Structure 1
Amino acid sequence: MADEWKASAAVEGDDRSWKLLEKALLASVQEQRRARRWGIFFKLLVVVYLFAGLALLAPLFNLQKGVAGSGSHTALIEVRGMIADQEAASADNIVGSLRAAFEDANTKGVILRINSPGGSPVQSGYIYDEIRRLRVEYPAIKLYAVISDLGASGAYYIASAADQIYADKASLVGSIGVTAAGFGFVGVMEKLGVDRRVYTSGEHKAFLDPFQPPKEEEARFWQGVLETTHRQFIDSVKQGRGERLKVDGHPELFSGLVWSGEQALKLGLVDALGNTSYVAREVIGEKELVDFTVQESSFDRFAKKLGASVAEHLAIWMGFQGPALR
């Protein structure tokens, strides 16, 4: 009997020990969870304070480098990368820089330094029109486009509005054409056994849908849109360059081909060979360069990337984007 009681007591003692150990382990886990939650909270708080500070400092970083009253100078504006909305070379940024440069009383001349493959015809056209307007409003200030590595398509569209265009002998110039590309997934869907169901209230509302076979009449229509945009591009270039273009005998001039700077000079696409320093020093007569390019802060670049729409990028990838000057 005594032995049974001792055995029972030992079992109860073991149970209590396990329960105590279990409670201790649970308490430890809960404490770790609380510590982790507080750690995440404080890290988020630091991030919030960091971006709040950057937001307050952003206007300082967005100021243009050019400052009125800095003495006689050549104003420099960079056109770099894709010409598109919300990009560094957007129409709003370039036009704002152009206006600031022309309005500065100490600006002796303006250089538009270009290194771009082109982009949106709308953005390019906006910049083109503003350059021509500013040239009329400020006739004493000449604007020179200087192409470095690449001045193609929409970038050349912009350059053609300048008083003169300069390029390096090895620069790539031209590409006067329009493109709109996408993908077709009809065959893939057939192999996978997937049906596409689209409901529209317009006969041609889904004519760019990459999951449906193209219709001949819709393909002709879309080609007409591209040709209309191409004609607008050509008309603007002819208006900007005038008789300097060697159109006669060169039917390929507006075919979308691209030439070296040396070849472009012979075709009248550029006026002379030279770089930014040469134009400022020898053509404008003022070697002092002041950069009027709108400078985006790191905060702005991060915010744009963070706020970029996934749907927009998918639409571009799947072929729903509009025409592009490339």
Structure 2
Amino acid sequence: MNLFISKKPIVALIKLAGIISTEGRLGARGALNLNDLSDSITKAFTQKNIKAIALLINSPGGSPVQSALISNRIRELAIEKEMPVYCFIEDLAASGGYWLSCAADEIYAMESSIVGSIGVISAGFGAVQAIKKIGIERRVYSEGKNKGLLDPFLPEKKEDVVQIKNIQKDLHNQFINWIKLRRGKRLKGTDEKLFNAGIWSGKKAKELGLIDGIGDYYSVMKNIFGKDVKFKDFSKKQSWFKQRFLSKNTGYNSDIIVRSVINNIEERFIWSKYGL
């Protein structure tokens, strides 16, 4: 029997798992960006007989621009199609992962899920002393006084730090405004408590109004739409190339292999910050 001629309510599933990044990654958990997700998101909202969208989120964050682009697309389609959107946080919705969660009308998590990290971070290294020790002289030629902003091979300048902090403050305010727009009066706590980049368990996040309830998608959707609810997965499938590459890791040029190793190391570091 064709699923889409059934009178039983159908909920569209969209899995958003991985680091939010402009470029596709060859890491173990992949990457999230609008370019890769646009088709699956659109199909989920435009498929006939869909009663609701369920976002299954498991992300430590990443690009603020891609976080906004994905969230905006979800909201635009939700309004256009008058479709309710629910979010279900699995292990983690931190930083940009929580930004994505706020695209939903209601947010759920497990008691032990990690939620929050509402802040902005930039990181790098200073190699001034290292290149001195090995006798390397750094030479830079540029037009524009800010062209060498935070060059890791030159001494850090106070004005560079001020500039990057101003950018971070602007991005943080955009994040806060988005959360306030989407969560509104459900938030419980001062700005200082909620928006200091702290992380909480799902249980504590509910107390703070960052989520609406505790539960998994199957149980919550069954409670809302009845025991006969059906699910249709619209998540983007991993390409044949990536499946082959990640399973065998052979037969491809060295650049791809090195890039994959670097991506996996970086990815492991980001997830490990949250004990995952």
Both structures adopt the same fold (TM-score exceeding 0.5): yes
Mapped to 1, the partners of 2:21 and 2:241 lie a distance apart of 19
Change (3 A) 1:70 1:183: farther
Q: Deviations over 1:253-303 (max 9, x none)?
A: 111110000000000000000001112211243531110001022315668
Q: 2:214 aligns with which of 273, 276, 284?
A: 273
Q: 1:130 aligns with which of 70, 73, 88?
A: 73
Is 1:80 matched up with 2:17? yes
Q: Deviations over 1:8-59 (max 9, x none)?
A: xxxxxxxxxxxxxxxxxxxxxxxxxxxxxxxxxxxxxxxxxxxxxxxxxxxx
- Amino acid in the other structure paired with 1:172: I
Mapped to 1, the partners of 2:244 and 2:158 lie a distance apart of 43
Compute the displacement of 1:192 (Å).
1.8
- 1:111 is aligned to 54
Any stretches of 5+ residues in structure 1 without a counterpart? 1-66, 318-325
- 1:176 is aligned to 118
- 2:237 is aligned to 295
- Amino acid in the other structure paired with 1:171: S
Mapped to 1, the partners of 2:132 and 2:5 lie a distance apart of 66
- Note if contact 2:150-2:157 (Cα within 8 Å) is conserved in structure 1: no
- 1:208 is aligned to 150
Aligned with 1:280: secondary structure?
A: helix
Mapped to 1, the partners of 2:20 and 2:243 lie a distance apart of 16
Q: Deviations over 1:42-82 (max 9, x none)?
A: xxxxxxxxxxxxxxxxxxxxxxxxx9836441111101110
- 1:95 is aligned to 38
Q: TM-score, normalised by structure 1?
A: 0.70
Compute the displacement of 1:308 (Å).
5.6
The RMSD of aligned alpha carbons is: 2.6
Is 1:144 matched up with 2:144? no
Is 1:264 matched up with 2:205? yes
Q: TM-score, normalised by structure 2?
A: 0.82
- 2:271 is aligned to none
Mapped to 2, the partners of 1:181 and 1:302 lie a distance apart of 33
Mapped to 2, the partners of 1:202 and 1:99 lie a distance apart of 43
Mapped to 1, the partners of 2:33 and 2:245 lie a distance apart of 16
Aligned with 1:295: secondary structure?
A: coil
Mapped to 2, the partners of 1:90 and 1:127 lie a distance apart of 7
Mapped to 2, the partners of 1:70 and 1:205 lie a distance apart of 60
Q: Deviations over 1:224-248 (max 9, x none)?
A: 0111111111111111111111133
- 2:195 is aligned to 254
Mapped to 1, the partners of 2:256 and 2:63 lie a distance apart of 18
Change (3 A) 1:309 1:133: farther
Is 1:283 matched up with 2:224? yes
- Note if contact 1:280-1:289 (Cα within 8 Å) is conserved in structure 2: no
Mapped to 2, the partners of 1:207 and 1:161 lie a distance apart of 34
Aligned sequence identity (%): 39
Compute the displacement of 1:148 (Å).
0.7
- 2:166 is aligned to 224
Within a 5 Å distance, the mapping from 1:306-325 to structure 2 comes to none
Any stretches of 5+ residues in structure 2 without a counterpart? 26-30, 247-251, 266-273
User: Over alpha carbons, which structure has the higher Rg?
Assistant: 1
- Amino acid in the other structure paired with 2:50: T
Mapped to 2, the partners of 1:310 and 1:196 lie a distance apart of 27
Compute the displacement of 1:167 (Å).
0.3
Tell me which protein shows more helix as a share of its residues: 1
Mapped to 1, the partners of 2:232 and 2:257 lie a distance apart of 35
Q: 1:164 aligns with which of 103, 106, 126?
A: 106
Quick check: 284-293 or 147-156, which moved more? 284-293
- Deviating above 4 A after TM superposition, structure 1's stretches of 4 or more consecutive aligned residues are 300-311
- 2:4 is aligned to 69
Mapped to 2, the partners of 1:146 and 1:265 lie a distance apart of 13
